[in-house]
Chain A
Amino acid sequence: MTSPTDIGAALQQDGGEGGAVPEPFGLGSSPLRSDALPKALGIYPYAADLWAEGLLWGAVLRSPHPHARIRGIDTSAALALPGVHAVVTAADLPPGPDGLPDGAPAGPIIADRPVLAAGVVRHHGEPIAAVAADHPDTARLAVGLIAVDYEPLEAVTDPEQAFTAPALHPDGNLFRHLPLRTGDPDAVGEIVVEGLYQVGRQDPAPLGAEAGLAVPRPDGGVELHLSSTDPHGDRDRTAACLGLEPDRVRLVVTGVPGATTDREDLSFQVTLALLALRTGRPVKMTLTREESFHTHTSRHPALLRYRHHADAEGTLVKVEAQILLDGGAYADVSAEALAAATAFSVGPYVCPNVFVDAWAVRTNNPPAGRMRGEGALQACFAYESQMDQLAARVGVDPVEIRRRNAMSTGDPLPTGQAVTCPAPVKALLDAVAAEPLPALPVDDPDAEWLLPGGPGGAGDPSAVRRGIGYAVGMVHMLGAEGEDEVSTATVRVSGDHATVICAAVDAGQGFATLARQIVQTVLGVSEVYIAPADSDQSIAGPSARGRHTWVSGGAVERAALMVRHQLLQPIAANFGMSVELLQIADGKITSYDGVLGMPVAEALEGKELWATAQCRPHPTEPLDESGQGDAFVSISFCAMRAVVDVDIELGAVRVVEMAVAQDVGRALNPRQIEDRIEAGVAQGVGLALMEDLQTTGGLLGNPSLTGYRLPTSLDTPEVRIAALLEERDVVATFGAKAVSAVPAVVAPSAVAAAVRAATGLPVGRLPIRAEDAVTG
């Protein structure tokens, strides 16, 4: 048998076969991610693999009720169990302002989610108590011995009921109401189309379930080893919940699996830290799959009511909409998701008159939070469904109706903000429309044709209909509405290699690879190490909203440029020329006139140079009471064409192909961009057809990977990249736009459009259930 290292060596040899293929180098090339091979071979150490001498195991007691008052908690039986070292409840956390335990509420925007429930549980699976014991089974057994006296309360699970229901939390049931008013409210169009759209609950379902290790420090602090994607934010919130100074908590980022959202939930890490502090021993906790579904936030389920007015040619006159997001039990980032849903409620189209009311409300459903294009995705499904309806009413092609209304650079959003970044919406549409269509089975009878329902399934060719659908969408990059976006990076060069120290976590978006490429390009050094991220480094912010390419990439570039200046200055002075006349290329420093040609390695010999730099994009402002304001730093766009086969008797759908054209600004690593697009398409197809975390009366119905269906390789379509449009965004670092979120935003709408085309059914709900695609 070949050992993993042999395979690794073999792969590396393949890459260098013939000795003529150089290692990919610098921006614009496509080096492989450094963790790709270990992850594929199963030798990558995840957080669940951590170990410390003498560690204890943590376990959490979760609420079986979606809404209940806690009349009392009796932990004596659990504490009496041999092997149990500590049992903690809300009473062990610092008390609230009134001196009573309040569970140390925390949250990314509003601190309203208790670490451990105090007095009330507001969703199924909410943590109530935690145990540390010398064996995981003992811990689990002890959890079962904690007696909680619940008084079940009526659960509010319908977001429409939240407005009138009694307050579920002292903060009330309304997270945010955002009205948007622009133009003439009395404008009417010749053609009016209306629709009611629903989006279900998609879960990030990270394959690496939450896990971590907390180690107490001699100074009374604690060190957390977790796969966090926001080390500083998580550190600060953890410290605040524990009543510690932030510098007493250190967060070491370890074993991050691919993340499409915030990785850890706060309750998990605060509980872990609390157990370690309480017992004075390292504590490890690994959540089960079911707990993982309970603990992390999901996508906001949404209800959207739309009315589009257009003239006879299909040019938009007015859009009216009501948007309702179910934020679940706690605020999380609902306010931010709502801003995106409202601002992008019309989509990448121009419309002079827009009237939207949007609400995010509290219910007793599981909390919703950040997940690729939160808010923007739900709106995209509604406006693209409306555009399909409009095309049918006007009697033109769905591509044509979109072209007629498409926005270009300089056009205003309904928020009054002018889109100053490149907005090549028409070009994207044309690119996907021009792609050749995949062959029909009749054209290629020899090929093994995968029927809807899969190989060996029940598919019958005579009942299969093919459909083609188009969608365009948009999503903002970086934080919105005045959020301070900043990142810091240090670049150090010593001898022949460089090191990048930056707390930006590579959660699969490829930041580590990008940082290496940046330093290679700027300094001509081929060996670049990326230091592991931890909270002792300077702040880089969370890995979300495509921030790190821009903000941390910008910081790395600036730091590298400063090092470059330090390196070239003495050489330039030596030759009596300015630094600007020297350039670094192919590992050599050359002057404009070719007189100087010095290898970088030689210039660097014996030197140790370093610089730290910060990047902070231009500020934004909050949306005002009529939804107006320059709330976004930049926007990225994407167009897709979906080709689906539908078994119209069973309602089975298979996505045959997705053609994608995306506005990337500049392709810094083309292979990684394609990977991210494929990932976004896979996630989008999942939401469109199968991913649905069901709740009945607030209780989770399918918290397992058998019940919660993720797309498998057979469900993920062929992804055809029609175009990566490179129109530089002048304000962005390298002119590049974030690439991960927008494919996930657009893909579900494209699939829905294609199913609509195949079946002739309206399709107003995501995910599309089998019964939604059965005709007759």
Chain B
Amino acid sequence: MLPASLDEAVDALAAAPAAVPVAGATDLMEAVNAGRLRPAALVGLGRITELRGWRYEDGGTAVLGAGLTHARMDRPDFAALIPALADAARTAGPPQVRNVGTLGGNIVTAAPAGDTLPVLAALEATVTLARAGASREVPVSHLLTGLDPVRPGELLTWVRVPLLHAPQVFLKATGRSGPARATASVALVLDPARRAVRCAVGAVAPVPLRPLEAEAWVAGCIDWDGSREIDPAAGAAFGEYVAAACVPDNYGAEGAWEAVTEGPTAAAVRLRRTVSVLARRALGRALK
């Protein structure tokens, strides 16, 4: 099925709820080719041009189409709007993948190392799930954690992101210089209107994690009215705080749900060091 408009697509899904919507197919076809997935039908979203762009709403929100490609998000006009999302899109993979891989696809695939996810979590973005005759708004984090999953016949159409007009940073640690899966990533956005710092750590858990206490603490250390400078020691402490909040002591240990008796595992120490450096650098860049 190759609908030409959003309505057609939603109708198609209503008619065949088992059908799988497909946009860039960078994850989907890999699973199909490997025999892990055998969809009953596909609904191609490639011809729905309205989903490939974005619009503004109420002056303070950007409504991004789910069909926005990573390559498009990396362009300067978009980067000026939501810099952290542009940074995440830029490092998300090789050009061949970024040219077709979409924002919506990244969300519904919900891979632990999905690069746009920590950014969306830090931005507290919401998504629109459309179905025939109705639609609903769900916070990205609720969708990712499975608190409020996509229901049969629903299509992820729009992603609502607040425009904060302030520095945002996305940093990721990988094992090589070329595009690679993150071993840990940190998205950090400043929200001067609310005098808040919001931060999310990706790739260390199945979903992006928000160190809420660390956020609140560091927001109190920033001189919001002045130069927004921060004591380097506070930046380092923030890094440690974020790392301790997001990486449990028993990270990587067998039987990870059992109580830990002997302090953090070696894997936890290593990952915390990485996360803490990333968070400190992200904060430093945001406040520079």
Binding partners A and B: yes
Chain A residues with a Cβ under 8 A of chain B: 137, 140, 288, 290, 450, 452-458, 460, 649-650, 652, 654, 689-690, 706-707, 709, 711-715, 770-771, 774
Measured CB to CB, the nearest residue on chain B to A685 is: B176
Are B174 and A713 touching (Cβ within 8 A)? Answer: no
Given A288-B34, A712-B179, A715-B177, is A454 in contact with B270 using a C-beta cutoff of 8 Å?
no
- In the assembled complex, the CB of A82 is this many whole angstroms from the nearest CB of chain B, namely 17
Are B277 and A649 touching (Cβ within 8 A)? Answer: yes
- Choose among A715, A770, A774 the residue that contacts B178 (Cβ–Cβ < 8 A): A715
Query: What A residues does B277 contact at CB under 8 A?
Result: 458, 649-650
- Bound-state Cα–Cα, A690 to B91, Å: 18
- Choose among B173, B178, B181 the residue that contacts A712 (Cβ–Cβ < 8 A): B178
| In the A-B complex, the 9 residue pairs with the closest CB atoms | A712-B178, A454-B177, A458-B171, A714-B178, A714-B177, A649-B277, A715-B177, A456-B90, A771-B270
Are A454 and B278 touching (Cβ within 8 A)? Answer: no
Are A457 and B174 touching (Cβ within 8 A)? Answer: yes
- In the assembled complex, the CB of A776 is this many whole angstroms from the nearest CB of chain B, namely 9
Are B172 and A458 touching (Cβ within 8 A)? Answer: yes
Query: What B residues does A140 contact at CB under 8 A?
Result: 35
Q: Could you give, for residues 94-138 of chain B, a 1 whenever the CB lies within 8 Å of some chain A CB and a 0 otherwise?
A: 100000000000000000000000000000000000000000000
Are B91 and A456 touching (Cβ within 8 A)? Answer: yes
- Bound-state Cα–Cα, A355 to B90, Å: 54
Given A290-B34, A460-B281, is A712 in contact with B183 using a C-beta cutoff of 8 Å?
no
**Seed contacts A454-B176, A712-B178, A770-B175; 19 additional CB < 8 Å A-B pairs:** A140-B35, A288-B34, A453-B173, A454-B177, A454-B178, A456-B87, A457-B172, A460-B281, A649-B273, A649-B277, A690-B176, A709-B176, A709-B180, A711-B176, A712-B179, A713-B178, A714-B177, A715-B176, A770-B183
- Bound-state Cα–Cα, A454 to B182, Å: 12
Most buried by A among B94, B181, B274: B274
Are A654 and B90 touching (Cβ within 8 A)? Answer: no
Query: What B residues does A137 contact at CB under 8 A?
Result: 35
Query: What A residues does B34 contact at CB under 8 A?
Result: 288, 290
Chain B interface size band reads 20 to 34
Query: What A residues does B183 contact at CB under 8 A?
Result: 770
Q: Please list 15 pairs of residues, one from A and one from B, whose beta carbons are closer than 8 Å in the complex, sorted by A's number.
A: A140-B35, A452-B177, A455-B90, A455-B177, A456-B90, A460-B281, A649-B277, A650-B274, A650-B277, A709-B175, A709-B176, A711-B178, A712-B178, A715-B176, A770-B183
Measured CB to CB, the nearest residue on chain B to A136 is: B35
Measured CB to CB, the nearest residue on chain B to A655 is: B177
Query: What B residues does A458 contact at CB under 8 A?
Result: 171-173, 277-278, 281
- Bound-state Cα–Cα, A455 to B174, Å: 12
Are B177 and A654 touching (Cβ within 8 A)? Answer: yes
- In the assembled complex, the CB of B273 is this many whole angstroms from the nearest CB of chain A, namely 7
Query: What A residues does B180 contact at CB under 8 A?
Result: 709
Chain B residues with a Cβ under 8 A of chain A: 33-35, 87, 90-91, 94, 171-181, 183, 270, 273-274, 277-278, 281, 284
Are B270 and A712 touching (Cβ within 8 A)? Answer: no
Are A689 and B176 touching (Cβ within 8 A)? Answer: yes
Are B177 and A712 touching (Cβ within 8 A)? Answer: yes
Are A450 and B173 touching (Cβ within 8 A)? Answer: no
Measured CB to CB, the nearest residue on chain A to B183 is: A770
- Choose among B33, B87, B173, B178 the residue that contacts A650 (Cβ–Cβ < 8 A): B173
- Bound-state Cα–Cα, A714 to B95, Å: 13
Measured CB to CB, the nearest residue on chain A to B87 is: A456
Measured CB to CB, the nearest residue on chain A to B94 is: A712
- Bound-state Cα–Cα, A247 to B173, Å: 56
- Bound-state Cα–Cα, A574 to B179, Å: 69
- In the assembled complex, the CB of B32 is this many whole angstroms from the nearest CB of chain A, namely 10
Most buried by B among A288, A452, A456: A456
- Bound-state Cα–Cα, A709 to B94, Å: 13
- In the assembled complex, the CB of A450 is this many whole angstroms from the nearest CB of chain B, namely 7
- Bound-state Cα–Cα, A288 to B87, Å: 33
Measured CB to CB, the nearest residue on chain A to B186 is: A458
- Bound-state Cα–Cα, A457 to B186, Å: 11
Measured CB to CB, the nearest residue on chain B to A649 is: B277
- In the assembled complex, the CB of A718 is this many whole angstroms from the nearest CB of chain B, namely 13
- Bound-state Cα–Cα, A450 to B34, Å: 36
- Bound-state Cα–Cα, A711 to B174, Å: 12
Measured CB to CB, the nearest residue on chain A to B271 is: A771
- Bound-state Cα–Cα, A728 to B178, Å: 40
- In the assembled complex, the CB of B37 is this many whole angstroms from the nearest CB of chain A, namely 12
- Bound-state Cα–Cα, A137 to B38, Å: 11
Most buried by A among B33, B94, B180, B278: B180
- In the assembled complex, the CB of B177 is this many whole angstroms from the nearest CB of chain A, namely 4
Given A290-B34, A458-B172, A458-B281, is A453 in contact with B177 using a C-beta cutoff of 8 Å?
yes
- Bound-state Cα–Cα, A654 to B176, Å: 8
Are A774 and B273 touching (Cβ within 8 A)? Answer: yes
- Bound-state Cα–Cα, A453 to B278, Å: 12
- Bound-state Cα–Cα, A453 to B90, Å: 13
- In the assembled complex, the CB of B203 is this many whole angstroms from the nearest CB of chain A, namely 12
Are A454 and B281 touching (Cβ within 8 A)? Answer: no
- Bound-state Cα–Cα, A424 to B274, Å: 44
- Bound-state Cα–Cα, A652 to B182, Å: 12
Query: What A residues does B273 contact at CB under 8 A?
Result: 649, 774
- In the assembled complex, the CB of A60 is this many whole angstroms from the nearest CB of chain B, namely 13
- Bound-state Cα–Cα, A597 to B183, Å: 70
- In the assembled complex, the CB of A767 is this many whole angstroms from the nearest CB of chain B, namely 9
Are A457 and B177 touching (Cβ within 8 A)? Answer: yes
Are B175 and A690 touching (Cβ within 8 A)? Answer: yes
Query: What A residues does B174 contact at CB under 8 A?
Result: 453-454, 457, 652
- In the assembled complex, the CB of B238 is this many whole angstroms from the nearest CB of chain A, namely 15
- Choose among B35, B87, B91 the residue that contacts A454 (Cβ–Cβ < 8 A): B91
- In the assembled complex, the CB of A755 is this many whole angstroms from the nearest CB of chain B, namely 14
Query: What B residues does A290 contact at CB under 8 A?
Result: 34
- Bound-state Cα–Cα, A455 to B172, Å: 11
- Bound-state Cα–Cα, A770 to B172, Å: 13
- Bound-state Cα–Cα, A482 to B209, Å: 62
Query: What A residues does B171 contact at CB under 8 A?
Result: 457-458
Query: What A residues does B284 contact at CB under 8 A?
Result: 460
- In the assembled complex, the CB of A566 is this many whole angstroms from the nearest CB of chain B, namely 54
Measured CB to CB, the nearest residue on chain B to A451 is: B177
- In the assembled complex, the CB of B4 is this many whole angstroms from the nearest CB of chain A, namely 25
Measured CB to CB, the nearest residue on chain A to B273 is: A774
Query: What B residues does A455 contact at CB under 8 A?
Result: 90-91, 177
Query: What B residues does A771 contact at CB under 8 A?
Result: 270
Measured CB to CB, the nearest residue on chain B to A647 is: B277
Are B178 and A706 touching (Cβ within 8 A)? Answer: no
- Bound-state Cα–Cα, A380 to B33, Å: 41
Most buried by A among B94, B177, B278: B177
Query: What B residues does A689 contact at CB under 8 A?
Result: 175-176
Are A770 and B35 touching (Cβ within 8 A)? Answer: no
Query: What B residues does A712 contact at CB under 8 A?
Result: 94, 176-179
Measured CB to CB, the nearest residue on chain B to A143 is: B35
Measured CB to CB, the nearest residue on chain B to A141 is: B35
- In the assembled complex, the CB of A40 is this many whole angstroms from the nearest CB of chain B, namely 16
- Bound-state Cα–Cα, A543 to B270, Å: 43
Measured CB to CB, the nearest residue on chain B to A713 is: B178
- Bound-state Cα–Cα, A453 to B91, Å: 11
Query: What B residues does A654 contact at CB under 8 A?
Result: 177
- Bound-state Cα–Cα, A652 to B34, Å: 32
- In the assembled complex, the CB of B272 is this many whole angstroms from the nearest CB of chain A, namely 12
Query: What A residues does B278 contact at CB under 8 A?
Result: 458, 650
- Bound-state Cα–Cα, A735 to B183, Å: 49
Measured CB to CB, the nearest residue on chain B to A686 is: B176
Are B181 and A652 touching (Cβ within 8 A)? Answer: no
Query: What A residues does B179 contact at CB under 8 A?
Result: 454, 712
Query: What B residues does A714 contact at CB under 8 A?
Result: 176-178
- Bound-state Cα–Cα, A690 to B178, Å: 11
- In the assembled complex, the CB of A655 is this many whole angstroms from the nearest CB of chain B, namely 9
